[in-house]
Each structure stands twice: as structure tokens, then as C-alpha cells.
Chain A
Amino acid sequence: MSFPEVIEQSNQVLQALVDAGERVIGYVYPHPPHEILIAHGLKPSLVRTNPSVVGAYEASLQTFSCSLTRNLFSQRVSSSFPLLAGIVFSGNTCDALQNVGDIWRKRFPEDRVLRLTYPVGDFGEASVDFLSMEIEALSNELTGLYGVAFSESNFRTAALLLHEIRDVLQLFYTVRLLYPSLISYNTLSNLVGEFLTAPTQEASERMKGKWEEVVEKLDTNQKNTVEQLRESLLNQDLSDFEAEIDSANHRIAVIGGMVEPSTLAGLMENIPGITHTTLVLDMLSFGFKTVFTPPVSIEGDPFRESARSILGAHSEPTQEGLPKRTAFLKDVLTKLSIHGLIVCEQSFCDPDEFEAPSLEKAAEEVGVATVKLPLDSELSDRARIEGRIQTFLETINAS
């Protein structure tokens, strides 16, 4: 599915939900407290960029706002957003989102703009305390806005649902890494896309159905290896993971910030030299990092457990922890036999652009070739981007 098709399909799903009387709440930063939002009767949905909407932001944003925020703003100005009951902006993640949330409130006072402020890093219980209070404040605000109080039983159902969805997506990611011929990156990115559009029971059933097809093709040993790797990825520690990886074909990983797996799948589709097993892993914010988030426990206080889960996810370039991220990247590249790394940089995205040189350096230190891919949400330079990927693949193939 191409990215425009993904958006089209996502809009249809959202429209169907709205028609069925559901309230859809958008989020911009990849780690919203899904379970808490659902506990208020809301359907959380990623507010996606749309490459076909261009340049309607100029009266409110300068050109040096990141391409993601410019694109979202343009969509809102040209009224091309799906019907959202509100949008959750993040606070304290990056300067662009911090300010654009404020600007949005001024320009579109009729929109319900909420803010969830995150701690900049994982400082143990101090961060959990802070984020849980923020989530609780958000929950109170939701009650006030929509008149639907937090429901403990909805929360439990949501925690279970999200656990199931993430669980199965983690398995797909792991199988893609170990046995890439069993699931295409396209399929994986579509399934992740469904999660981002709306984590519904139907989406979960479809994912489980797909998993039945895949798991049939694995023998017991392979199943054990999949489980072992999944655990290691979830725990962000590959030190104990030992397995023979079939690296006869070249294996590429992608890293960067707020890019969707489907964008990449779409970009890769027509590039000569790419086989269906080439792209084995994305480590993107809207893909791998959203999926490899530990489950929310239903035993303790919902706000604290939700905070714990969010803080337990792989850290973002917007957060502190660069040394940990580069160390983990090196492990991924070496232990999972990656031959080449594509480093995505959103145009005018400070977190991406600051982190890219360190990621490239880390890859070079373990002998993995890299290419930097400057992107914008409109993919305005698509031909050049594709050319760059193609040249990169040729270089790797020649080595």
C-alpha cells in the first residue's frame, strides 16, 4: 500500500468510527497514554502528515518549523483533517511541538487542544511521579471536556487490547528480523499503520489472524528464537541474544525520528535492487519504538502504570540518553547482522538532525555503512531520495 493509500484508508476507518458515534482523539507524539484515553471512551489516532497538502502554514509558522508541524498545520488550515474530537500535543519533547501547540490554540480556538508534558528522560521514580501526575491531570481534563469519567473497567480492557496488539506486532518485527521472507516489510508497516490509525479490537483480530499464518511456518526452534529476540528487544538488551542469522542477502535497517514505516515502505517499493528481504528493521518513533513499549500493568494505580509503560519504551531522540541509544544501535547492527543503515532526518527537526551524526558514527564504528536521508513530509524531493537509496544499495552490494 502506498502512503497516500494508507492515509486514505486511515481516513475511512476514522470516518467509520465517527459515523458509529465514536470520539476520535488525535495525538502527535508517538507515546500517548493509549489506555487512559480509551478509558475515557476515546479512540486514540495518530495525526498523520499528508504529502498531498502543501504550504498553507505561512501566515502562522516560519519555514524553519519542522516539516511535520508545517504539514499538520497546512492540513488544518485547508480543513483536510479527519473529524477529531481533540488533539493531544506533547510538551517538553521538542521546541517545534512545544510552540506549535500554543500557536494552534491561538489560530484554531474552536479546536480542543490538550497538552501532555513529558519528563525529558528516565530519572527513575522522579520521572514516573511527574508523568503520572501529568497523565492524571490529562484524565481530569478529558472528564471535564467530554463528560465521560475515567472507567476502571474500560482501562483494563484497553490495557489488554494494547498488550495484545503490541505483542503481535513485536512478533512480526522479530520474525522480519530473523526470517524476513515470512513477512514483508510492506505488510508489517500496514499492520503498524492500523495500530496508529486506531487500536481497535477488529485491528487486533486481523493482526492475530495474520500471525496464525506466519507462525505455522515456524518450527519449534525458530519459535523459541523469535521469543528470545522479542524479549531482548523489549528489554533493550541484546547481550544474551545469540542466534545464527541468515545474512546471505543484504540486510538494511532504518533509523530516525517521526517518520512512519509506511512512508519508508512506499519509498522503497520501486527502487531497483531492493528485494523483499532487504529492509529488515525500522527503529522509528512511529514504528518500532511505539510497538516495543512494555505493557501497562492493571495491578497498580492506572496513571502510574501508564507512566511506567511510556517511560519503559525505547527512548526518543527528543529525550536524554544518546549514549544508551548508540550502544543499543551498535548491538542491533552487529548481533542482527545488518549491512547498511539508513538514517532519516526530517527537515528542520532538531532532534533528528542533532542525532544523525552520532548514529552514523556508531554504525561506522562497527563497520556498517550508512546513508543520511533528508526527508520532508511532502517527500518533495522523492526522485533524489530514491536515487540516494539506490546508490547506497549498490555500494553495499558491491562491497
Chain B
Amino acid sequence: MSDEKPYRKLETQALLQQIAFRHGMEAMAASEEGNLAWVSSGFPVEIPVAMNVFPTYPEQSGAIIGATKIGPEVCGFAEDLGYSQELCSYARASIGSTDRPDDVAMGALPKPQAFLGCNNICGTILKWYDANSEQTGAPVFLLDTPPLEAEQKPHHRAYVKQGLERLIEFLGKTFNTTLEEDKFREVADLSSRAIKLWTQSLKACQNKPSPLNCADRFLTMAPVVSSRGMEHCTEFYEVLLAEVEDRVKQSIGAIREEKIRLLWDNIPPWFILRFFNQLAARGVVFPADTYTHAWSGAVEGTDTDSLLDGVVDIYSNVYLNKNLDAKVDKMCQLIKDFDLDGFVMFSVRSCKRYSLGQLVSKEIVTEKTGVPGVVIEGDMVDSRLFNEAQIQTRVDALLEMFV
């Protein structure tokens, strides 16, 4: 038996660590200078960045807490404060690590001067930041992007745009700063370029073999979440895309022997990313997932007003802000475009917005595409809510269908 690993590590991963380190240092400095905001993953970060407010991401810190396997302990700190174990584990990890930063080896964030949340990913974000705000005394700004039933209606657009105007005012007052058009355009342009490069890397996974597996994408999406609009983020995705294209040119797959191509739905269980590597050993690759494909589109415009219109478009239309039909359509499209044999839906107990509806959409997706799927249940950070043996049995049952 060969010692060779069933998957191939990306060389770009080394650069990723550097970026994470750099981001952490800059966040610390920004906190000391009174310029740090904690920001939700779907927040139009181009605006604070253009106003010299440094963003850092508690969801990413939740992922780190999960990956370093201290999730149950840190979530437990929040539970000690009275927060139910039924709540989102990103939120619990954040509340817990804010309460006891010295007891968290990795993942506690420096103290912010403001919380910037956007409910285009969920309603939880508002409640979570309210709790954080009580802990730290820093104010919350909530950008309200009401969920879309179908096409975004004009009054929804107008309302979100008014929210952006309030945001600029809030940042101006809180951080004593202004939004300059040139800077805004520059940041939006950098952000768009990073997103385009990232999207190209994702699209490259339509190739067979797929140059990236799930875990690769989950890790390399970090900069587009945390640093879009900054120069080094765009540079990172240039390097990643080059490596991906090279793999495609040479027919090098993310896993050594690609036999079954599946779609992954939802956030990954960060504490057990080896789950994907174990499946790789059985020839299973995940060329697409709904999580990393939630990012698309670019903020475009010629002046502040049109750039704000672009922001309204992009940030109202994120995957989690759409209805069940749109989610089903997206999954069917990915299955078709990436020529996938089936799908795995991770029903994340933490995340009602992402997970409720999966039992129904599983049936519809299979009906529409003819490919089978399975729903497995667990959590992304809190490993107490993850039954590995049970999940294995379910995934085995799915894989047997492809034999």
C-alpha cells in the first residue's frame, strides 16, 4: 500500500497562513488605534474599508475555534453566561471568546469600536452582535436587507440604499471619517477583481479531474471574506488561480483518483475537515458547494451613487437572502454545470437560515436532476453536536448507489 495521501495539498496554502497572520496583526493595530469593526461575512465591507475602518470577521474566528477543536469549550463559556446551546455556534464562540479571551488559545479577536452586521445571511447576526455589544460597549450598525421572494422590488432597493446612507453617516460619526469617491472606486475595483479571480478558480472545478476539493475552497475563501478590497487579497487570488489553472492544464486533480463528484451544501464541520480527505481516499471529490459559491458578482459603478447601487445589488442577492426556489435552482445549476453525481446536505443545527428547508429541497433537487442526495446532521463548530458514526453510515448508503 502506498503512503501517498489521497489528496494533494495546494502550494498556495502557505501564502494563506501569511495573509491570516498579517490580517491578525493589522486588526490588533486597528483596535489600538480605535479603527476596528467586527463585520459579518455578507457585509458590504467595501464601504468601511474605503473609509479606513479595518474589518475583522467573528465568523472566521468561529471557524478557527472550530478547526482548533476548542469549539465545545469556548461555546461553553457563552452557555455559562446563559446563552442556550441551541444557538448558532459561531455566535456562542464569539460571545464566549469575548467574555474570556485569555482562555482562548486561538481565535479571540481584538476589541472592536463597532459591530457592522448585515442580515443578508441570517437574522441571528443582529442578536449575536447585540450580545457582543453589551459585552464590549461598542455600538452595532445593522444593515437591513430584507429577504427576496423573487426579483428585488424597487422599494426594497430604495430601503437598502437608505441603509447604506445611514451606514456612511454612522461610520463618519463613530470613526470620524468620510467616504471619498476615488477611494471608494479603488476599493470596489480591488474587491471586484478579487471576486472575479476567486470565481474563476471555482469555475475551473468544472474540469475533470477537479483541481480543488471542498476543504481547499473552504480554506482559500478566507481572504475574499476578510480582505476583499485590499491589495494583498487580489494578489492572493492571482497566485491561487495560477496554481489552479496549472493543475487543470496538467490534468492534476485535487484528489489522486477522482471517481465520484458530489455537491456539498452548507457550512463545513470545521473541526473535522479530514472528513473530506477520508472520502477522497474512496475517490469522492466535491467540485462545488453552495457555501463558497455564495460569493459572486462585482461592485461596479462610476461614481458614489452608482457604486452604492452596485452594493445594493450584490449584497441583497446573496444566496442565503433568497427563497427556497432560488436555492434549489442554484443547486440544480451547480449539479449540471459541474457534472455532479449526487449531493450531500449538511444540516447544521446552528444555522436555521441555511438548513431549514433542506428536507424539502433534497427531494426537489433529486426530482429535477435525477441525482441522489443525503442529509446528514451536525454542527460546524460544536463537535458535541456531531455524531461521526451516524454520519458515516448515511454517507456510505449514498456512496453505495454509485457502485
Contacts and interface: CB of A to CB of B under 8 A. Distances in A.
Interface of A: 59-62, 64-65, 91-96, 98-100, 102-103, 105-107, 115, 117-121, 123, 126-127, 129-130, 133-134, 137, 317-318, 320, 322, 345, 347-348, 350-351, 353-358, 360-361, 372, 374
A62 B377 contact: yes
Interface residues of B toward A: which range?
35 or more
Given A64-B86, A91-B147, 17 more contacts: A92-B147, A95-B123, A96-B356, A103-B357, A118-B146, A121-B142, A121-B144, A123-B162, A126-B159, A129-B158, A130-B156, A130-B158, A320-B126, A350-B352, A353-B83, A354-B131, A358-B130
B251 to A, nearest CB: 40
A361 B349 CA distance: 27
B130 A103 contact: no
Contacts of A357: 81-83, 131
B105 interface: no
Interface in B341-361: 347, 349, 352-353, 355-360
A60 B359 contact: yes
A126 B163 contact: yes
B86 A353 contact: yes
B88 A350 contact: yes
B123 A93 contact: yes
A123 B166 contact: yes
B356 A62 contact: yes
A370 to B, nearest CB: 10
Closest 9 pairs between A and B when the two form their complex, measured CB to CB: A354-B127, A357-B82, A102-B324, A99-B356, A133-B155, A95-B352, A353-B84, A95-B353, A130-B159
Nearest to A137: B153
Nearest to A58: B359
Contacts of A355: 127
Given A126-B163, A355-B127, A103 B360 contact: yes
B356 A123 contact: no
B364 interface: yes
Nearest to B130: A322
B359 A372 contact: no
A120 B360 contact: no
B146 A92 contact: yes
Contacts of A123: 144, 162-163, 166
A120 B126 CA distance: 9
Contacts of B127: 317, 322, 350-351, 354-355
B128 interface: yes
Contact of A100 (B87, B147, B356): B356
B119 interface: yes
B328 to A, nearest CB: 9
Contacts of A107: 360
Contacts of A360: 82
A46 to B, nearest CB: 21
Contacts of A322: 127, 130, 134
B123 A119 contact: no
Given A99-B352, A353-B86, A354-B83, A62 B359 contact: yes
